[in-house]
A and B are shown apart, each in its own frame.
Chain A
Amino acid sequence: MNLSELLPFTSAVVDQVTNVASDDPIAKRLRELGFVSGEPVRIVARGPIGADPLLVQIGFTRFALRRSEAQRVSIYLDN
């Protein structure tokens, strides 16, 4: 599954960030911000309209990502 499908306050772990094009600056920036394999991730809030953007807790930081950005991040649930 990818990050845009994760329900709020559910713990998950980042698998990887996928480039949607051969040169994808958004994917690159996501990796720089800490979306790398093995990193715990959680949705802590969603925007009021269309549940977009998503507020994502990664590391000690919160980032607002639009759904299209979150779709680049593949995750698995943390059991």
Chain B
Amino acid sequence: MAISGISRIALVGNPNCGKTALFNQLTGSRQKVANYAGVTVERKEGRFTAPSGRVFKLLDLPGAYSLEATSPDEVVTRDICLGRIPGEELPDLIVCVADATNLRLHLRFVLEVKRLGRPMVLALNMMDAARKRGITINRDELQRQLGMDVIETVAIRNDGAKNLMAHIDEMDVPEVHAATHESDADLHTEVRKILAAAVTMPRTTAVVDDAIDRWALHPIFGLMILAAVMFFIFQAVFSWAEPLMDGITEGVTFIGQWFASTLPDGLLRSLIVDGLFAGLGAVLVFLPQILILFLFILVLEESGYLPRAAFLLDRMMFKAGLTGRSFIPLLSSFACAIPGIMATRSIQDPRDRLTTILVAPLMTCSARLPVYTLLIAAFIPNTTVWNLFNLQGIVLFVLYVAGVTSALAVAWFIKRMRKDKSEHALLMELPSYRLPSPRNIAIGLWERAYIFMRRVTTIILSLTVLLWFLSTFPSPPEGATLPAIDYSLAGIIGHFIEPVFAPIGFNWQICIALIPGLAAREVAVAALGTVYAMSGSEDAVAAQLGPVIATQWSLATALALLAWYVFAPQCLSTLAVIRRETNSWRMVAISTGYLFGLAYLAAFLTYHITKALS
């Protein structure tokens, strides 16, 4: 065994070179995902044990086309390679990953990294795909031309990184060279020279890609395929998740009730059952939907379809002040704005990213559904119009459309208002189609679920405890006739803000429900249940809430509340994620302000127009 001083390794490479799959292959589940200090760039670190028993630390750097960085991701990659980030050690070895089927592009980056003079090796990835396409690569010649070791890998096969691991294990400390500078044209000339000497390629594209793209990118069929894929995903997210969501609700309620029956009646019991378990249940219930949605997004991402969707929609979204790349984050926001806003990291232009973050809360997230279904069932007659459509279904559809339309309008407005009018770049690579690997999908799913749970549980749990406190204290006086919540701080605040909401038709009960609804929108339904269950009609449980409000509210109030919910930023977790992703309280203030403004305006108009018409 050679004694070498290598212990920290960095993986670099172009986007779509299979770097992350290789990272997963080397480290398995031993990964740590976090952020680089001060920026929202994901930092993925893992370790692996080589055959000799030595342990290596591996850092998966963000994909980059060039060291002349144009995005925060590329800045991180460049600065790590140069040892410029405080607290991040300079890697002992750079493993540059290149896709063997895409060497014309990837070798340029290899040469650019080589100019840094750092110790490096080249992992020639996707060798299986290259062989299948009849591409032959003379490895010895390539090593000679590049002046570095070249190791073939197949990141999607189980032993596909074995050679690389063994090579690193037995490597001597490579020399550090002086950094050199060549112009871009020189780099391209050198790539052409190397390709001519070491690579033969029957054709420049994969037959399969050409065949699929002829349909997937067709102006008409392409859009139809995209619509079908979206429809299927929506169906799956809402129908497959339902039994799981019911199961989680029942499970959490069951454990909560067990605590309720075990603990003595009192504040502690109330805190655990009404505070902790109600709050936990409210979050956990969305996990199945989020996981199913992420599963589809990961499969589409791994297969190479997502950039195609972005290609088809770019023009439309660009007109509205967004970019094709906003499509995925906005799609995720239909399940929940939190993963949606997290997904905006893939948008390179900071202006496009900010606009997408600001409009993501306008997508109808699934937390609004309980509110919508309650109000629609109570106020909209279940009749058929034009012998074809269900009126309740139409109203729900209109609410979704209202969200999307207003998002486009807001994005357009932001584009108009922005001072920096310089051009936004698309410059998006459409990678080869690939069969998604179950292992990468499983790891990706686990990572995202973990990040989501960690973020949301900390925020929601602390908030629910706070809200429980607000709605519990002070307790009602002796001989109280009104519901207990009416005497609490939440009740006092509800009455206090009632005059503000009276012009849009909200009564004090709604105002009270809006306060616990801040933690998560659907909690407002439970809160309304509490308010009404305790205000006389003791037998009314949540399921009977519909008929109760149907007799007590006017149609105008109900429609105004629906309109309110299309916009209202009643989700502190979303605001917390906006704070994290933008690093700016100003953006939190702007999104809260504009969403409240729109919500109030929409509810005001709806209330008064309905009143005038009825």
Contacts and interface: CB of A to CB of B under 8 A. Distances in A.
Interface string B209-225: 11001000101101100
A32 to B, nearest CB: 5
A26 B324 CA distance: 17
Contacts of B68: 28, 32
Contacts of A49: 315-316
Given A47-B314, A48-B219, A64 B102 contact: no
A60 B219 contact: no
13 contacts: A31-B185, A32-B68, A39-B188, A44-B210, A47-B312, A47-B314, A48-B220, A55-B217, A60-B101, A60-B201, A60-B205, A65-B426, A66-B314
B311 interface: yes
- Please provide the 8 A-B residue pairs with the shortest distance between their CB atoms, ordered closest to farther: A59-B104, A48-B219, A45-B217, A62-B430, A49-B315, A64-B428, A32-B66, A36-B188
A44 B216 CA distance: 12
Interface in A17-52: 25-26, 28-34, 36-37, 39, 44-50, 52
A56 B127 CA distance: 25
A15 interface: no
A62 B205 CA distance: 9
A69 B427 contact: yes
A32 B184 contact: yes
A33 B427 contact: yes
Contacts of A36: 184-185, 188
Given A60-B101, A61-B102, A64-B426, A47 B311 contact: yes
Given A36-B184, A47-B315, A59-B105, 19 more contacts: A25-B70, A28-B68, A29-B427, A32-B66, A33-B105, A34-B188, A36-B188, A45-B213, A46-B219, A47-B312, A49-B316, A60-B101, A60-B102, A61-B102, A61-B104, A61-B105, A62-B429, A65-B427, A66-B314
A74 to B, nearest CB: 15
A26 B65 CA distance: 13
A69 B426 contact: yes
B103 interface: yes
Contacts of A62: 205, 209, 429-430
B307 interface: yes
A69 B425 contact: yes
Interface of A: 25-26, 28-34, 36-37, 39, 44-50, 52-53, 55, 57, 59-66, 68-69
A48 B427 contact: no
Given A34-B105, A61-B105, A29 B428 contact: no
Nearest to A28: B68
B170 to A, nearest CB: 32
B478 interface: no
Given A36-B184, A36-B188, A49-B315, A57 B425 contact: no
B415 interface: no
A68 B318 CA distance: 12
A64 B105 contact: no
Contacts of B312: 47-48
B537 interface: no
A37 to B, nearest CB: 8
B153 to A, nearest CB: 18
A59 B210 CA distance: 15
Interface in B311-355: 311-312, 314-316, 318, 324
Contacts of A26: 423, 425, 427
B108 interface: yes
A62 B102 CA distance: 10
B584 interface: no
Given A60-B204, A64-B428, A29 B70 contact: yes
B208 to A, nearest CB: 13
A60 B220 contact: no
Given A36-B185, A63-B430, A57 B108 contact: no
A52 B426 CA distance: 11
Given A48-B220, A63-B428, A55 B311 contact: yes
B94 to A, nearest CB: 19
Contacts of B324: 53, 64
A34 B427 contact: no
A30 B66 CA distance: 11
A48 B222 contact: yes
B316 A31 contact: no
Nearest to B188: A36
A64 B430 contact: yes
A64 B425 CA distance: 10
A10 B206 CA distance: 18
A26 B217 CA distance: 24
Contacts of A50: 315
Contacts of A66: 314, 318, 425-426
Contacts of B430: 55, 62-64
B263 to A, nearest CB: 60
Contacts of A68: 423
